[in-house]
Chain A
């Protein structure tokens, strides 16, 4: 069993830059990314932390 695909942010990342890098072909990627990562929604001031897990796909269908 493997975890959902995830990445750690790179220096200077926010969800928009991370979405552009990881999901270049997906429309509205930043918003999609947010919907898959609600745990990051309360980060308006601190932004992404270097240790954050950021999922780059939705939960698997079961």
Chain B
């Protein structure tokens, strides 16, 4: 069972930076929403060769995975409270 990105929207992050809110829909119809911070999102777009968040819709969940893994070791920016 794999998840598909069904929505990607620019939203305001808690720390005053923009974020992308991504909705994933699973094969069972269940959905979950994750939020990518600016660095992670930009890296995801670069990795996928995408120039617009609209193009994320329809992509498999794994589109954002390479960027997240890359960021995990280098400059991943988690949320600040």
* CB <8 Å contact, A62 and B30: yes
Interface contacts (Cβ under 8 Å), in number, total 52
Interface size on A, residues (CB 8 A): 17
* CB <8 Å contact, A60 and B68: no
Contact with B along A32-44 (1 / 0, CB 8 A): 1011101101111
Which of chain A's residues has its CB closest to B29's CB? Answer: A61
Determine if A59 is an interface residue (Cβ-Cβ < 8 Å): yes
> Chain B interface (Cβ within 8 Å of chain A)?
1-3, 24, 26, 28-32, 34, 40, 61-62, 64-65, 68-69, 71-73, 76, 78
> Chain A interface (Cβ within 8 Å of chain B)?
32, 34-36, 38-39, 41-46, 58-62
